[in-house]
Chains A and B, each alone.
Chain A
Amino acid sequence: ETGVTQSPTHLIKTRGQQVTLRCSSQSGHNTVSWYQQALGQGPQFIFQYYREEENGRGNFPPRFSGLQFPNYSSELNVNALELDDSALYLCASSLAGTRREQYFGPGTRLTVT
């Protein structure tokens, strides 16, 4: 059973740039969620994708967007990067439904300078 994988592991971007982060879900999982974890904080829900559509969103501006592909992998795109976007971005996969545990990937560490 392959776990959740994310790429890249870390990257550095300049304020105003755009970034794309990638996630491959665990085998058999059809739902992908993205979380932002700032230093010293717990993960914060960004959005969730199911059947290639956004299925719920947290308190993040529209410049955070995503995609889910037919193979259930997903991308998180962030436009017009701000310094406060520096964080660990976590992807989690699960089966559909609220009574489902989520399995997390190792995260992508984004630094915005």
Chain B
Amino acid sequence: AQSVSQHNHHVILSEAASLELGCNYSYGGTVNLFWYVQYPGQHLQLLLKYFSGDPLVKGIKGFEAEFIKSKFSFNLRKPSVQWSDTAEYFCAVNAQDGGATNKLIFGTGTLLAVQP
């Protein structure tokens, strides 16, 4: 069965610090990869996605993620965080297994708190 692991459950950073959130998945086939963000009081929003091609993908608000197939990883990065990046971040995967179901498997989330 597919699964997604997010190693950091709670991260606290000061403004301007660099961010890297880990995400590993278990599935041997082709996958689509996503990072979603949930700001306080708001619903889940797509931050970025990877389907194919360049493994370094750029998303909104200066975020980027790198797909490393050999490591089954899709880590999220931002060079300099802002207080407004305080949110919960979810990594998600769906498998391109020939089926028609667009079923997302989510990690448990990482709560990021940025201190001004």
Real binding pair? yes
Tell me which of A15-23, A63-71, A96-104 binds B.
A96-104
Tell me if B103 counts as interface (CB < 8 A to partner A).
Answer: yes
The 0/1 profile, CB within 8 Å of B marked 1, for residues 39-79 of chain A is 01111110010100001101000000000000000000000
Let me know if A41 and B108 touch, CB within 8 A.
yes
Shortest distance between the CB of B98 and any CB in chain A (Å): 9
How far in angstroms is the closest Cβ of chain B from A35? Answer: 8
CB within 8 Å: A-B pair count: 74
Contact B106–A50 (Cβ < 8 Å): no
- Min CB–CB distance A28 → chain B (angstroms): 15
List chain B residues, Cβ under 8 A from A99: 32, 51, 96
Q: Is the CB of B107 within 8 A of A33?
A: no
Cβ of A24 < 8 Å from any Cβ of B? no
Find B99's partner among A41, A56, A104, A105 (CB 8 Å cutoff).
A56
User: Which of A4, A97, A102, A105 meets B104, CB within 8 Å?
Assistant: A102
B70 interfacial by beta-carbon distance below 8 Å: no
Chain A proximity of B37: nearest CB distance (Å): 11
Task: Using CB atoms, name the residue of chain B closest to A45.
Answer: B103
Q: Which residue of B lies closest to A91 (CB)?
A: B43
The range of chain B's interface size is: 20 to 34
A26 within 8 A of B: no
Q: Is the CB of B106 within 8 A of A55?
A: no
Given A4-B43, A40-B109, A56-B102, 20 more contacts at CB 8 Å? Answer: A33-B104, A35-B104, A41-B108, A42-B90, A42-B108, A42-B109, A56-B99, A58-B103, A92-B44, A92-B104, A97-B102, A98-B32, A98-B94, A98-B102, A101-B46, A104-B43, A104-B44, A104-B45, A106-B43, A107-B43
Sampled A-B contacts (27; CB under 8 Å): A33-B102, A33-B104, A35-B106, A42-B90, A42-B92, A42-B106, A42-B108, A42-B109, A43-B44, A48-B102, A48-B103, A55-B100, A56-B99, A90-B43, A90-B44, A97-B100, A97-B102, A98-B94, A98-B95, A98-B96, A98-B100, A100-B102, A101-B34, A102-B46, A104-B45, A106-B42, A107-B43
